[in-house]
A = this chain, B = another copy of it.
Amino acid sequence: MVHSKPLNELTATEIAAAIAADRTSCEEVVRACLDRIAARESEVQAWQYLDPDAAIAAARAFDRSGRQGPLAGVPFGVKDIIDTHDMPTEWGTPIHRGRRPRRDAACVALTRKAGGLLLGKTVTTEFANLHPGKTRNPHDPARTPAGSSSGSAAAVADLMVPIALGTQTTGSTIRPASFCGVFGYRPTYGEHRMHGVMEASGSLDTLGILARSIEDVALYRDVLLGVPPAPIVDLERPPRIGLCRTHVWDAIEPATRKLVEDAAQTLARAGARLGDVTLPGEFERLNDAHRWISSFEFARTFTFEIERHWQEISETLRKGRLADGLVCGFDRYVAAKEFAAQCRGQLDRVWQDHDVLLTAAAFGEAPVGRNAFVGAPLYQIWTALHVPSVTLPVFKGPAGMPVGAQLIARRHDDRGLFACARWAYRRLG
């Protein structure tokens, strides 16, 4: 221990700095993470694949290599729908048990290029869809960690690893980050290469980052873009924030609504120019649009599994997204895509008066039970709009469980989003 806290509790930025300054080694960090996992995994069950001996050997090899990079020596977890050449990638389904890709996904290769050390594969729901995996909420094992990036959110929340890769097609990063109490980031659609990531719905899929600081999110985004990391900029003036309740506001738990509204007031008192943003009425149809786009595509992406392994697919998936997708006609699918594109154009006007929008990151606290997909309508809106969003772990609900505040920005203004998020987090966190 070289910091005031144990190595497994450090952020990625802190670990990289400590290793670069020779205050610790990759091996020490990895051992600290593995110790935490050994103590907690029987309860949390975040990991789908983990080989402690191999991880220590890799860490030693890293230390001997003297390799540098923005994530040099930083352990990371990877959702088990993302290919890794040296670990299985099973997509949360028995159909692909033992599947061993030949190469790393682009995002994994970029993390390794930056010096990251792959610790293991984290649990995903089945095909990153509704049917839950084994992971439990680290704050209360009776509750869901949410999905689909369940293991990545739980592992980061439980101090097992500082950063982890997830994905998002509906709310699969923002939701588990909110439920587990960590930072979650869904990038602008299309900025990151998805090769080697299981496609769910190609028109909506993005990567997702789970981390314990906004600085780590920003650093990891640059790594995943393959560009030189740049620090988060300081805002020249407090941000213009639009409180956006959306048409699903009434479905959000009253306590969460109050937390978000109070946060808006806190930020206004700190200098933010606060306004209310009401989305155009027809944006209500984005929920249906998201449903048909994702279902149509999902049911075609998995034709191989549908044709050859139907009985090995969960009933949840067969009767849910696949049933939807197989009945959805092409005209409905294209109309949904064109409608979503039109809404994206309309949303552009919002950014003339607002730097970010503020809304809830979940309908409430993580519920008791295994339902990993609570509250899809809240996420469908923003995901269909292709905008970047982050959730900040700043609230506690009535049961003492974490709840996130979600900030949303203009497409490709992810760096602006981080600047506003850091400003807001310092006042709410």
Complex CA gap A307/B85 in Å reads: 13
User: Contact check: which of B99, B226, B303 meets A102 at CB < 8 Å?
Assistant: B99
Complex CA gap A151/B283 in Å reads: 46
A195 at the interface (CB under 8 A from B): yes
Q: How far is the CB of A234 from chain B (nearest CB, A)?
A: 20
* Chain B neighbourhood of A109, CB < 8 A: 303-304, 307
- Per the CB 8 Å criterion, the residue count for chain A at the interface is 39
Of the candidate stretches A19-27, A172-180, A263-271, A330-338, the one touching chain B is A330-338
Please provide the chain A residues from 164 to 199 with a CB less than 8 Å away from any CB of chain B in the complex. Answer: 190-191, 193-195, 198-199
* Chain B neighbourhood of A334, CB < 8 A: 191, 412
* Chain B neighbourhood of A304, CB < 8 A: 85, 103-104, 106, 108-109
A277 at the interface (CB under 8 A from B): no
A110 at the interface (CB under 8 A from B): yes
A96 at the interface (CB under 8 A from B): yes
A136 at the interface (CB under 8 A from B): no
* Chain B neighbourhood of A199, CB < 8 A: 106, 193-195
A305 at the interface (CB under 8 A from B): yes
A225 at the interface (CB under 8 A from B): yes
Please provide the chain A residues from 283 to 342 with a CB less than 8 Å away from any CB of chain B in the complex. Answer: 297, 299-305, 307, 329-330, 334, 337-338
- How many subunits of this chain does the assembly comprise? 2
* Chain B neighbourhood of A106, CB < 8 A: 199, 300-304
A203 at the interface (CB under 8 A from B): yes
A202 at the interface (CB under 8 A from B): yes
A113 at the interface (CB under 8 A from B): yes
A330 touches B225 (CB 8 A): yes
A227 at the interface (CB under 8 A from B): yes
A112 at the interface (CB under 8 A from B): yes
Complex CA gap A103/B101 in Å reads: 11
* Chain B neighbourhood of A412, CB < 8 A: 334, 337-338
Q: How far is the CB of A391 from chain B (nearest CB, A)?
A: 24
B329 touches A227 (CB 8 A): yes
* Chain B neighbourhood of A96, CB < 8 A: 102-103
Complex CA gap A307/B113 in Å reads: 7
Complex CA gap A108/B304 in Å reads: 8
Q: How far is the CB of A331 from chain B (nearest CB, A)?
A: 9
Q: How far is the CB of A339 from chain B (nearest CB, A)?
A: 12
Q: How far is the CB of A198 from chain B (nearest CB, A)?
A: 7
* Chain B neighbourhood of A190, CB < 8 A: 202-203, 337
* Chain B neighbourhood of A99, CB < 8 A: 102
* Chain B neighbourhood of A337, CB < 8 A: 190, 412
* Chain B neighbourhood of A302, CB < 8 A: 106
Complex CA gap A198/B110 in Å reads: 17
* Chain B neighbourhood of A102, CB < 8 A: 96, 99
Q: How far is the CB of A272 from chain B (nearest CB, A)?
A: 26
**The 6 A-B residue pairs with the shortest CB-CB distance in the complex, in nearest-first order:** A109-B303, A195-B199, A109-B304, A226-B300, A227-B330, A103-B304
- A: which residues have CB within 8 A of B? 85, 96, 99, 102-104, 106, 108-110, 112-113, 190-191, 193-195, 198-199, 202-203, 225-227, 297, 299-305, 307, 329-330, 334, 337-338, 412
Since A106-B300, A195-B202, A225-B300 are in contact, a sample of 8 more A-B pairs with Cβ atoms closer than 8 Å, ordered by chain A residue number, is: A109-B307, A112-B307, A190-B203, A190-B337, A193-B199, A194-B199, A194-B202, A225-B330
**What are 29 inter-chain pairs, A to B, with CB distance below 8 A?**
A85-B304, A96-B102, A96-B103, A103-B304, A103-B305, A104-B304, A106-B199, A106-B300, A106-B301, A106-B304, A108-B304, A109-B303, A109-B307, A190-B202, A190-B203, A190-B337, A191-B334, A193-B199, A193-B202, A193-B297, A193-B300, A194-B202, A195-B198, A195-B199, A195-B202, A225-B330, A226-B300, A227-B329, A227-B330
